[in-house]
Amino acid sequence: MARITIEDCLEELDNAFDICALAGKRAKDLASGADPLVESKDKPTVIALREISAGKIGMDYFEISNKEKIESQLFGDGISEEEVITELSQQLEEMPSTESLATTSNQQDISNDNTLDASPAINDDVKPNDVDEADASKDKVIE
């Protein structure tokens, strides 16, 4: 096979920096297991340059690649976006409404008020200055 250079890719993309960035991104994806779009037994960097010069990938590859990567991280391999939306909507339907939660909360507040009223009365016979002699002996310093 003939050698491939960035100059060969300039026919498809007019910016050498864009070619390098695109080739680097595509080479990383190829090294991670992406399927090549051209037949070649070269290293990932060379395959990426061949794909660019053949017009198989362009600058939109960044957006497509990032979208696929995000979707695979969010949804994994077996779950689609529609399945996630369906499951979440079912869970929302099963949740009690805020009105029923407010009613339950008010009923609990009323029952708590009733239990507070039934508490025993405070003993008014005890004065704050009354000190037990046992407690007073603990405060004495041993000389």
Helix, coil or strand: residue 137? helix
d(CA 26, CA 61): 8
Place of tokens 């994806």: 29
d(CA 2, CA 27): 19
- Helix pair 61-75, 81-94: axis angle to 10 deg: 40
Q: What's the pLDDT tens digit per position in 46-97?
A: 999 999 999 999 988 888 887 877 777 776 666 677 887 888 888 888 887 7
Q: What's the pLDDT tens digit per position in 21-59?
A: 999 999 999 998 889 999 988 999 999 999 999 999 998
pTM for the complete prediction?
Answer: 0.49
